[in-house]
Every structure is written in structure tokens, then in C-alpha cells.
Amino acid sequence: MKNLKFKYFVLLLSLIVLKFNATAQLDSVMARCNTLLTEDFISDGQQYLSLITGDQTAEFSVVFYGGNIYRVISCGGNDSKDIIFNIYDKYRNLLFSNIDYDNTNYWNFQFESTVECFIEAKFEPGNSRSGFAVILIGLQK
Amino acid sequence: MVRQTFRIVITVLIISGLFFYPNCKGEDSDKDTNADSLQIQNSDKTFKFKEKLFSIPSPFVASDLIKEISDDFNSDLLNPAENKINYTTTSDKALNLGVYTADLAYSNVYEQFSSTTKYIKVVRNLSSELQIMNSYTDKVLENFEKNLNDKDSLNKIFTNAYRETDLYLSENNRQEIADLVVTGAWIEGLFLMTQIAQEENNKELIDRIGEQKYSLQNLIILLNKHQQKNEQLKFLNNKLNELNREFSQIEIKYKYINQIVVPNERKSIILSETQIIITPELLKRITEKVKEIRKLIIK
């Protein structure tokens, strides 16, 4: 009976610790992401995150308005370069992939005209871990 | 012994649910933002957000666009702060919190500090009545007072507050309120744009109005989730559908063009072209419909 109560307690404790770890991980990812939203950019007012495992992809839709410069920022895990992000137009023409630029965690985009896009975010291939993928978008002032 | 083990297993399963799915709700509830809100598509392990929330610009972005086009601040366009007493239901409060947030953004971008002060107070009061992050809004107010003469800092403070509020509501199972705030802010932003377009007849502004076609479709999807629980929202969504019928007549043509990359500036110049075709008669009908919906919201 005592042994069972002890196991019960350990299980509960483990779950509590896991919960706080997840929250702490997200806070840490968000904090890193926010540092890339420098003074000359203002946020679009929202933050987009998804919990993905190693080989999954999160997809976000976005309309970028013409005549503006945007900064797209990606963050996840502990390594600043462990998220791959690709940007496509609505017909799936590839507009950008950070793989071509050493997995950079941000890139600026000057849109001459308004374009409907999809942003894909995933962990680097071969990465079996899971965690939060965060995308932030800033508009240059 | 078996009973005890069973009890432990059940308890652990329930607690696991509570801990690992902090936003989970009943079947009719919202499941559509943040980490737990993704749905799996096909078998390629691609997760998609059900709504194109990205397509709904924050009121601060919309105000910046307006300021680029028109130098004149028109306080008559705004919802008077005194109207706040008319908002007694949670839905009215949430919708008008969005409306006032857009008015606050509009006042701030024109550096109308007395008007901005008035709107931050009403935003604070409505936030408090809706029990939204009292300590956070207090901090925003404090920062606001410190940066009263710095429009850009204020814009940044407000934008961050808007983002934090959206996340806070999503994380606390209050998605309906978050969606209503976004709806109110969007309608007010569109109201301001359409009213200013009547005076300015500016092609860029009219294009921006036409581009709201994307946002409207997403708002209707957002509100669809809540309308079964709320007759007022059902009525509002019907009106938004009427507006959508007008917006659906806007023609949007797109042409892909190869982009230019400037690696040393970490920048891509996207040259693809979108053409918005909206006739003056259609714009007039949209303007009238937006005015009607906004009147319903602000009472």
C-alpha cells in the first residue's frame, strides 16, 4: 500500500516537472525570438507556435502587403539554427528557403505587391527531437 | 489491489490530460490556435493552422497604412469613449475592446496624445471588466506614461500588448473573447479605411481595402465556431457573410515573378504582382455595409 502511494506521488511529481519544463522551454524560445525583432521592426501583433516532432512540418498562412518590408523570424529548441523555414506563394512557387543561407533564423522580405503565402517550419532533417517551432513576423517602421 | 491500481491509472490519465493539454476544451470549444490547435493534413505529417490568422493585420499595422495615405486626423470617425457604458454583455465588451484598440492605434499614429490617453483608459477598463491580464495592462499603462511623447515606442508597446493579450486569452480557454476582440478591431480598421477612401480616392488605400477580402474570410471562419452558443454572434456573422458577398466580387489577379536576393542585407525582394480590381460602385456598397456592421457593434 505504501509502495503504491509512493509510486503515485512520483508519477504526479514527474508530470508537474514535465509541465513546467514545457512552459520554461516555450518561454526561452520566445525570449530568443523576440531579440531578433529589433527596434526598426514592429510585430504584426501575433505570435505563431506549434508543437512538432522531428519529421513533422507546421504550416502557416500569411498575406504580406505590398510596399512593406517584413522580417520573418524562426525559433525552436536550443540551437538558433535548428528550424528550417520555407516560404511559398499560393501556387507553391518557392520564394525563400533558409536552407540556402545556413539555416539563418531570420530574413527580410521586401514585397513590391501583396502576396498570399504559406510558411512551412520544421526541424532540420535527421533531428528526432520534438519541441516548439515559433514564427514571428515584424513590419519595418 | 486491482482497484487501487485502476484508480491510480485513471487519476494519472486525467492529470496527464490536464497537464499536457492545457487548452483542451469540450467538443464545441475552440481548438484552433497555438500548439494544440493544429490539425494533421493528409499523411505527410504536415500540420496546418485551420485559420489564416496571419491574414488579419493588427490594428496598429492598419493605422500605419492610413497615416501613410492621409495626413488628417479625424476624431469624428472614432467611437466616443463615452459609449462604453452601453456595453454590458461580454460579447459587446470584447467587440468594443477591439474597436477601441483600433481607435487607440489611429489616435497614436497621428500623435493625438489626449485622444490616445482617453482610449487607453477605456481599453484598460474594458480589459479589466473582461478580466484580461490586469497586472499586464497596468504595466502597459505605466510604460505608456513614460513614453507619452514617443509615438514609435507607444506603437511598439501597444502592439506587444495586443500580441500578449491574444496569447493570454488563447492559453486560458477564452478564445471566443480573443476572436471577438480581433473582429472588433478589424471592423473598426476597415471602417476608418473606407471612410478615408471616400475623401482621398487613393489607389493604394483602395487596394488595401480590397485585400481585406482575405481577412474577412478568416474572420467568418473564426466566428462560425462561436455562433451556435451566441445569438448575437450569429447575427453578426450573417452580416459579415453579406459583406463577404460584396467582397467576393473583387477580382484579384496574381503573377509570379522571380525574386531578387540581397544576401549581405539578408533580404529578398519579392517582385510577384497582385492586381486588385474593385469598381467605384462596389467600393461604395462595401463602405455602406461596413458602416452598417460597425453601427451594430458600437450601438
- Same domain for B131 and B30, yes or no, is no
CATH code for position A135:
2.60.120.380
Q: What integer pLDDT is reported at residue A16 of this predicted model?
A: 57
CB–CB contact A46 B54 (8 Å): yes
pLDDT tens sequence across B56-70: 666 777 788 788 888
Range with the largest mean pLDDT of A15-29, A46-60, A104-118: A104-118
**Among A11, A65, A112, beta carbon nearest to B269:** A112
Alpha helices in B110-230 (DSSP H): 113-129, 134-146, 151-171, 175-200, 203-224
Which range in B63-77, B115-129, B254-268 is most confidently predicted, on average pLDDT?
A: B254-268
Q: Could you tell me if residue A90 is inside a domain? A: yes
How many of the other CB atoms lie within 10 Å of CB of B70?
18
Q: How far is CA B265 from CA A64, A72, A109, A137, in A?
A: 19, 14, 10, 17
pLDDT exceeds 80 at position B18: no
In a domain, A66, yes or no: yes
Amino acid identity for residue B70 in this structure: S
For residue B166, list chain A residues with Cβ-Cβ distance below 8 A. 45-46
Query: Are B22 and B91 within one domain?
Result: no
Tell me, yes or no, whether B89 and B12 share the same domain. no
Beta-strand relationship, A83-89 and A41-43: unpaired
Among A63, A100, A119, most B C-beta atoms within 10 A, so best to mutate, is A63
The band of B178, judged by pLDDT with boundaries at 50, 70 and 90, is: confident
The count of domains in chain A is: 1
Residue B39: pLDDT band (50, 70, 90) is very low
What is the value of ipTM here, to two decimals? 0.83
Say which amino acid occupies A79: D
| Contact criterion met (CB < 8 Å) for A89 and B61 | no
Judge whether A2 lies within some domain: no
Measured on CA atoms in the order B156, B49, B271, B186, is the torsion positive or negative?
A: negative
Range of the domain at B18: 2-48
Whether the predicted pLDDT of B177 surpasses 50: yes
pTM here is: 0.72
Average pLDDT value for chain B:
78
Kindly tell me if the per-residue pLDDT of A34 is higher than 50. Answer: yes
Same domain (yes/no): B37, B124: no
**B-contacting residues of A 18-57, CB under 8 Å?**
18-19, 39, 42-52, 55-57
Of A4, A101, A107, the CB nearest to B8: A4
Average pLDDT value for residue range A48-74: 84
Q: Into how many domains does chain B fold?
A: 2
Nearest CA in chain A to B210: A114
Helices (H), chain A: 2-35
Here the cell at position A52 is 512538432
Query: First and final CA of chain A: distance in angstroms?
Result: 65
Beta carbons of A125 and A103 less than 8 angstroms apart:
no
Residue A41 has pLDDT above 80, yes or no: yes
Name every chain A residue with its beta carbon within 8 A of the beta carbon of B275. 113
Exposure of A104 in the CB half-sphere (CA atoms within 13 A): 16
> pLDDT per residue over B121-157, tens digit each?
898 899 889 988 665 566 676 777 677 667 667 767 7
Counting residues of chain A whose pLDDT is more than 70, the rounded percentage is 75
Residues 97-116 of A with CB under 8 A from B: 101, 104, 106-116
What mean pLDDT value characterizes chain A? 81
